Chains A and B, each alone.
Chain A
Amino acid sequence: MRKLLRTDFTRLVKTLLFYLTLGGVTAIFYLCLFFSSAGAGESRGVAVCNTMCSLAVLLVPLVVCGAYMLFVSNEFSGGAIRNKLIVGHRRTDVYLAWSVVGLVDGLIVAAVSVGSSAILIRLFADTTGLSAKKVAVAAGIALCMLISKMCQSILLSVVLPGAKGMLVNYLLTYALLMFFVIMQDTAPDSKIVDLLARCFPEGQVTKLNISKMPDRPWLTVLCGLGFAALCVILGIHVFRKKDLS
Chain B
Amino acid sequence: MEFVLTTEGLRKTYKNFNALNGLSMHVPKGAIYGFVGKNGAGKTTLIRLACGLQFPTDGGLTLYGAKHTDVAIHEARKRIGAVVETPSIFPMMTAEDNLKHQYRVLGLPNYDGIKELLALVGLANTGKKKAEQFSLGMRQRLGIAIALCGHPDFMILDEPINGLDPQGIVDIRELILKLNREQGITILISSHILDELSRIATHYGFIDRGRIVREMSAEELTNACRKCVSVRVTDVDALVRELERRGTDYTVTGTDSVDIYAQPNITELALALWKEKCEILTCREQDENLEGFFLSLVGGESHA
Contact = CB atoms under 8 A, between A and B. Distances in A.
Interface of A: 2-4, 6-7, 10-11, 14, 74, 78-90, 241, 243-245
A83 B54 contact: no
A87 B105 CA distance: 8
Contacts of A85: 51-53, 77
Nearest to B103: A7
Contacts of A79: 84-89
A83 B102 contact: yes
Nearest to B78: A88
Interface string B66-100: 00000001111110111011111111000001000
CB-based closest 3 A-B pairs = A88-B77, A3-B107, A79-B88
B48 interface: yes
Given A11-B101, A80-B101, 8 more contacts: A81-B88, A83-B88, A83-B102, A86-B53, A241-B55, A243-B14, A243-B53, A243-B55
B115 interface: no
A86 B48 CA distance: 9
Given A74-B90, A86-B77, A245 B105 contact: no
Nearest to B49: A243
Interface of B: 14, 48, 51-55, 73-78, 80-82, 84-91, 97, 101-102, 104-107, 146-147, 150
Nearest to B93: A14
B99 to A, nearest CB: 11
A148 B87 CA distance: 34
B55 to A, nearest CB: 7
Nearest to B82: A86
Nearest to B156: A86
17 contacts: A3-B104, A4-B105, A6-B104, A7-B101, A10-B104, A78-B89, A85-B51, A86-B80, A86-B147, A87-B78, A87-B105, A88-B52, A241-B55, A243-B54, A243-B55, A244-B48, A245-B85
